[in-house]
Structure 1
């Protein structure tokens, strides 16, 4: 997602630059080119492997979102509207998505976001995730839910993230904890790990400014990742992904972030 505003202009060139920076694993997301950046799953995996990259996970939506009639379309870092082709979603296409992940050899299918504007939407999302996760297990791949900050806010008297943890099958539905978004939402990542050990095999790591408003490369903000990584075993961490939502320069961001990670892991 870090490269969503640029990758479709030069898929191979962008991926090669990522590999040249020192990254070995990647997580894909939706593309304006359709499919997997204009490719079939096996074709995309082969391209990644030719560059020394491993395909670890892929982001999809849980169900279509209803955008308010007067809402402006989302824009990229270039301030231009992001126009996406019709996208598959877990509610309507979970089996196809699972089959494509199995074909491509990715380890996890991840629900990147899902409608939670009402209690009914929250409950529907839980049903969708349980069903998709069961299909994923049968195909030999993992399933996880990725959070933003809004899942930690009360909706119709309930906190969606708490329900996602308590009302999905813990053996099937894992969590990809976006650490920064969770903190912005008022959650304590370490407390989550302690309450739900082994439930968080995937993480997103990035930084935030002191006001928790601006996303920054790792090491340039105020999040203290030392206690978070110290609890990695309790979380059940298998893989973490460096991410930066809509950076002005995604290449500069990942270069700075990987330097920080190397310093952290060398300590």
Structure 2
């Protein structure tokens, strides 16, 4: 009897260990698919589309935000991604395409199976983003957002730091949020550019809640003080967890408001080394 009890206890311990290994992320903050912004591999795609997607797959990435790649059709690109278990939830579109309500956006999104269309830049002179620029963007975004929604897509504007210029009792970004129609216009947070513009990522997630639909997971080097230019040297992109971002609270708040797609973006020149390190950081973030 004692021998049987010992065996039962032994098997119970084995089962508990297997269960623990089967749920390694049960307490982890990051529990989403690993995504990447294609711009991260801008130095690789032009040389070898297939090889670059192979590298991305080997890193464990299963989502990509992209507008395709030169040298292959969108149909071919989609098939190459599908063969590697990579989906395309979001594509990029230029401001001029939105302004002209281009059907090319719809065609590309449908081809890729994307649900979101993002724009990451509002044209303006030099580094001087003005209220006039913001007002025009509001008009463009409201019209384009309605056009995209009518075609089954969600438009997201990606702030780039220059929108944090003070305006009235807030910033020009606040103006854009308040004057765009929530039914047609959503947003994608780029954590580095929020920090660079002097914004608070967690505070903005709380303030505007579910209007944030996507996120660029990108960290700003410690000690760097940003400005309203929307530009910073590539070396200021650093491995996640080594920069200024409070990722623990960023992901806690992101979960509360329902963001489901996170794209690592690394604009440094060492992406083959840094992206895997960032993924490892996310896997172990508790």
TM score, norm. by length of structure 1: 0.80
Gaps of 5+ in 2: 1-38, 226-235
Contact 1:205 1:243 in 2 (8 A): yes
Paired residue secondary structure (2:70) = coil
Show the counterpart of 1:4: 42
Show the counterpart of 2:238: 216
Show the counterpart of 2:27: none
Show the counterpart of 1:83: none
Contact 1:95 1:135 in 2 (8 A): no
Gaps of 5+ in 1: 30-34, 64-88
Following superposition of structure 1 onto structure 2, how do residues 1-267 of structure 1 map, counting pairs within 5 Å?
A: 1-29=39-67, 36-63=69-96, 89-116=97-124, 117-154=129-166, 159-212=171-224, 214-245=236-267, 247-264=268-285, 267=286
- Alpha-carbon distance, 1:99 to partner: 2.9
Deviations 1:149-200 (A, max 9, x none): 1111247998331122111111221110001210221111222122212111
Q: CA RMSD in A?
A: 2.1
After superposition, the Cα gap between the structure-2 partners of 1:135 and 1:43, relative to the gap in structure 1 and judged at 3 Å, is farther
After superposition, the Cα gap between the structure-2 partners of 1:250 and 1:104, relative to the gap in structure 1 and judged at 3 Å, is same
Deviations 1:210-252 (A, max 9, x none): 223611021222322111111113333111111112x212211
TM score, norm. by length of structure 2: 0.75
Q: How many corresponding residue pairs?
A: 234
Contact 2:191 2:245 in 1 (8 A): no
After superposition, the Cα gap between the structure-2 partners of 1:257 and 1:200, relative to the gap in structure 1 and judged at 3 Å, is same
- Choose between structure 1 and 2: higher helix proportion: 2
- Give 1 or 2 for the bigger CA radius of gyration: 2
Show the counterpart of 1:75: none
The 1-side partners of 2:139 and 2:92 are apart by 18
- Alpha-carbon distance, 1:60 to partner: 2.2
Paired residue secondary structure (1:221) = coil
The structure showing larger relative contact order (alpha-carbon pairs under 8 Å, at least 6 residues apart) is 2
Contact 1:152 1:160 in 2 (8 A): yes
